[in-house]
Amino acid sequence: MNETATHPQDLRLYLIIVLAYWFFTLTDGAIHTLVVLHFHQLGFSPLDIALLFLFYEVFGIITNGIGGWIAAHVGLNRTMVMGGLLQVIALGMLAVDPAWLTVSYVMSAMALSGIAKDLNKMSAKAGVKLVLPKGDTSQTRLLKWVAILTGSKNALKGVGFFLGGLLLYLIGFRWTMAAMSATLLLVYLVTWWLLPAQMGIAQAKAKISQIFAKTRAINILSAARFFLFGSRDVWFVVGLPVFLQSVMSWNHVEVGGFLAVWVIIYGIVQASAPILLKRANAGTGPQGSSARNWVFVLALLPAGIALGLMQGWRPDVVLIGGLFLFGAVFAINSALHSYLILAWSDHDKVAMNVGFYYMANAAGRLTGTVLSGWVYQMQGGQSQGLISCLWWSSGFLLAATLLSVWLPKKHDQSAA
């Protein structure tokens, strides 16, 4: 099928998925900034703040494990709406009297948010494969649609980071949560009505034992994904924002604005991945070797930032320049992975494979998040704490490089 032959109905369903995912992503980015900055202001230690996200990531792992199986039975429309409505509840739980916001209570709310986020992401990513007809062999269009969805999502997550910091400054934690909850409720009621009820239901019902991927390529790609996302969160989630606020004396809006600009540029690069990678196996899409090469380049960057800080160079210059370069290369890596998992999955198994793949993604984020708080605090915070987080990041990326050596060399679904 020619790339220009997209049926209007396919494009309409794709746009509905993208728009719903955008609104969800705004709240997901905002809730992270709000929780980190609000509880740091209340005197929580970096490790305590990291633990607030513990259940967010743990339940994300569980959700990705069974989310594909659930979607195969009830449809991606229902799992996507379930994710949106759970986020509405999580936001509402945080829009309460501040006296209720104990550590255990916030962890419970974040657990619901973790379930919501991964149900939504699994549904949106798998949905891209399903809105293309089964006979469509255009790998270029698949790469483009996945890159647009993922890149725009990350750009809007950056907007969410800024929005969270700005609204925390303007109207406070409680009212920000309430406003986001009400808006998202309306969005997902409309999404439920617009998407086909049968979308994503497998013809042959999958067994719960089939949640683990059976193909070697997907298993290796998922393992590499674990280390890829662990490498980002080990310094980005807690270490970096706490460093910017406590060492560089940035306020809420400045921290939120900087993280927002970073993620927006990251998303733009990710959405542009098809253009950046057009020379890689033209007509067939990137290969497994592309993922190996790009992740090795990425491994050099946090090590370079750490060395710059150790040499006593200006931390603002080293961090800002290094972070934007890291974000650009990380975006290409993420886009490659998101494309390969869909390219190597057939229509009936796409939800199950994507669920397993994002289970590894969530496990990497969990590991990185906990390490971010623990390493930063154990090394005494300040510059030394962030430097240690950066060395952990580089080590994770070298592990991803070694795993990627065993990915299929040629882009061939049968090889997967």
Listed ranges 115-119, 238-242, 344-348; the one with the highest mean pLDDT: 115-119
Amino acid at 9: Q
- Around Cβ 2, how many Cβ atoms within 10 Å? 8
Q: What is the DSSP letter of 51?
A: H
Choose between 283 and 378: higher pLDDT: 378
Indicate whether this model's pTM tops 0.75. no
Choose between 404 and 215: higher pLDDT: 404
Rounded distance, CA 295 to CA 229, Å? Answer: 11
Please say whether the beta carbons of 236 and 372 come within 8 A: yes
Annotate 306-323 with DSSP letters as a single string. Answer: HHHHHTT--HHHHHHHHH
Residue 230 burial by Cβ neighbours in a 10 Å radius (0-12, 13-18, 19+):
buried
Residue range 104-126: average pLDDT? 86
CA atoms within 13 A on the CB side of 2: 2
Task: Give the DSSP H or E segment for 301.
Answer: helix 288-310
Closest CA to 234 of 29, 385, 26: 385
In the chain the domains, ranked by start, together with CATH numbers, are 3-199+211-404 (1.20.1250.20)
Please say whether the beta carbons of 372 and 239 come within 8 A: yes
Rounded distance, CA 118 to CA 79, Å? Answer: 10
pLDDT band at 416 (very low <50, low <70, confident <90, very high): very low
Q: What is the pLDDT of residues 29-74, one digit of tens each?
A: 888 888 887 787 777 777 778 778 888 878 878 887 777 677 777 7
Amino acid at 255: V
Choose between 15 and 348: higher pLDDT: 15
Dihedral angle sign, alpha carbons of residues 286, 152, 297, 221: negative
Identify the pLDDT of residue 415. Answer: 42
Identify the pLDDT of residue 135. Answer: 52
